[in-house]
A and B are shown apart, each in its own frame.
Chain A
């Protein structure tokens, strides 16, 4: 894709700062995207300070006013609420749900994947078939199924999307476990009489955690997309929460005469997703040895 990233120099004996600047020069896009993500994180964290209005405050004098009109920089929605403020607060929900869901998915995937990779025999076979079944459903559909049992709400969306991500995570963890298990140092530790649990804890786990963290970075944007999709469908986060998916869904009804109601949160979501995936690609190209080929 961004071919510049592939030319990142190998980390040599240079000083740390030197390595950083060399990386920065050849990965301008990745750094720029990281800065964009950082901006979203900061404005989410300090939303009460950044946002000009509280997210639920209605301005009874201006409903659906266009951007740059009557003190509302990006306009108001059909309830007279300031869109810029709601979008800034919405970043909190998008990021909290995205990171929370990925955390659940990665932890669940770590447990299931480790169990499958280490057990072997019938247990492994049964776990793999279970993972196959989890992978047979697209994440959004599975999250919808869980939501139908759990009900709506921010915590429930995190849980539903998180559980839906367990399948893909556990598959990669298992593959990594199998790879590490076959390495000479693991065999040596076993021959030296190191206890099985100690081998798993000290030799296998550290070698599995790092690729898992790389995977997790890549999947944050996907989790944000799926969760905002759930809210867009009207079955995720409940109104009047300033969630982007909900705001876009509301704006859909007014698209013919007030396109900014969907446009403001939609653009924020699109920018965040693109930035997150550029960062994810950058992280993968930097740290995934399988992708470190020229071209």
Chain B
């Protein structure tokens, strides 16, 4: 068990390392001379040379990479050319919590609503309720989230005036204000996952309900709700957790678009602005943060399997 976990963790670290090489190469390939950008239009050759030396850009590329990675790990991510603020502060302390709040609310909403809907569909297979849900999941998985967001702004923000449509209020400072500001973005981002979870829950539960242990539970005279919600659901946890882990990438990229729709100052908006301002250091930070989040979650999902399914535990 411990051995398996160690292997998984090592493998994850290796993938992260390759991502860091790719992302370092990206910075090297970026057009424009970073020194020129930093110094502005007027500078002396001496100033140029000394800055090159100070930043270590005269060293071999491999040494530059190692130094960059070392600095990255300890949180020294360089300074923004535009705002002169440290990128770590900007990306990790300010932008990341916004994105995490958005992603977590959307995922929570999708699970809380999606699993019961999927269960209802599976237990009423072939009914009109099931068919309506099928149409909804089909539309939900392919509807463009950024357009959905605009529709929600128009309906709930403009027409009904129920929710604020812009900006972020940290729920840990003003809880109800935060919830109000997060409602529309979270709904927007969650629709895709909601549809995905309904689909997965239904498909797996339909299969699980035909298994012998369900027949056994029914034969023992257990009530229908216990059969479905305890015996059935317990056995579809694994595929459900897997799909949530695999779809986390989609959650993160959906968050980028949702942040732009609702003007939330998260990682997505940070990367987009950085691309427009040609701030490659920030793009790189955003790429690394996203990759770390995605890979770590998948590692956690992987490590959680033996807890979710006792059959996978080593004897």
Interface hit among B56-64, B182-190, B274-282, B302-310 = B274-282
B253 touches A145 (CB 8 A): no
Given contacts A141-B271, A255-B154, A295-B207, contact A274 B143 (CB under 8 A): yes
Residues on A with C-beta less than 8 A from B18 are 129-130, 132-133
Instruction: Closest B residue to A280 by CB, please name it.
Output: B142
24 A-B residue pairs with Cβ-Cβ distance under 8 Å, sorted by A, are: A1-B137, A3-B126, A133-B18, A136-B16, A136-B291, A138-B249, A138-B294, A139-B249, A144-B271, A145-B26, A148-B278, A149-B26, A221-B142, A226-B253, A232-B257, A232-B260, A233-B272, A235-B275, A248-B146, A252-B261, A255-B158, A277-B141, A295-B206, A295-B207
Q: Determine the distance from Cα of A114 to Cα of B154 in the docked complex, in whole angstroms.
A: 48
Q: Is B106 on the interface with A (CB-CB < 8 A)?
A: no
Segment 249-290 of A: residues with Cβ below 8 Å from B: 251-252, 255-256, 259, 262-263, 266-267, 269-270, 273-274, 276-278
Between A147, A151, A255, the greatest number of chain B beta carbons within 10 A of the residue's beta carbon is seen for: A255
Majority secondary structure, A binding face: helix
Q: Is A34 on the interface with B (CB-CB < 8 A)?
A: no
Segment 1-24 of A: residues with Cβ below 8 Å from B: 1-3
Q: Is A67 on the interface with B (CB-CB < 8 A)?
A: no
B29 touches A232 (CB 8 A): no
* Chain B interface residues (CB < 8 Å from chain A): 14-16, 18-19, 22-23, 26, 29-31, 126, 134, 137-139, 141-144, 146-147, 150-151, 153-154, 158, 199, 206-207, 249-250, 252-253, 256-257, 260-261, 271-272, 274-276, 278, 280, 283, 286-287, 290-291, 294-295
Q: Determine the distance from Cα of A197 to Cα of B257 in the docked complex, in whole angstroms.
A: 45
Q: Determine the distance from Cα of A25 to Cα of B141 in the docked complex, in whole angstroms.
A: 25
A274 touches B138 (CB 8 A): yes
Q: Is A229 on the interface with B (CB-CB < 8 A)?
A: yes
B153 to chain A, nearest CB (A): 6
Residues on B with C-beta less than 8 A from A1 are 134, 137-138, 199
Interface string of A142-158 (1 = CB under 8 A from B): 10110111010000000
Q: Determine the distance from Cα of A232 to Cα of B249 in the docked complex, in whole angstroms.
A: 19
Instruction: Closest B residue to A143 by CB, please name it.
Output: B253
Q: Determine the distance from Cα of A124 to Cα of B171 in the docked complex, in whole angstroms.
A: 48
Q: Determine the distance from Cα of A188 to Cα of B100 in the docked complex, in whole angstroms.
A: 54
Q: Determine the distance from Cα of A252 to Cα of B290 in the docked complex, in whole angstroms.
A: 26
